[in-house]
Amino acid sequence: MIKIELTTLNKYVKTIKCSCGHEFKAVGKRFICPKCKRLLSYEKDKS
């Protein structure tokens, strides 16, 4: 079994703000807003 500390996972957690105004935390590139069920995608800035 691999032991992972939760502090190392914090770099993958993103705070997403939906256009309906709901703000939530998620991991990955595509999310579904828990309030309005809208599909959102996270694009990282390339600057």
**7-30 per-position pLDDT tens digit:** 777 888 888 888 888 898 888 888
Nearest Cα residue to 33 out of 44, 22, 42: 22
Q: Are 18 and 35 in contact (CB under 8 A)?
A: yes
Q: How confident is the model at residue 43 (pLDDT cuts 50, 70, 90)?
A: low
**∠ at Cα 28 (41, 42), nearest 5°?**
25
Instruction: Indicate the domain borders of the chain.
Output: 6-41
Q: Answer yes or no: pTM beyond 0.75.
A: no
CA distance 32 to 2: 29
What DSSP designation does 20 have?
T
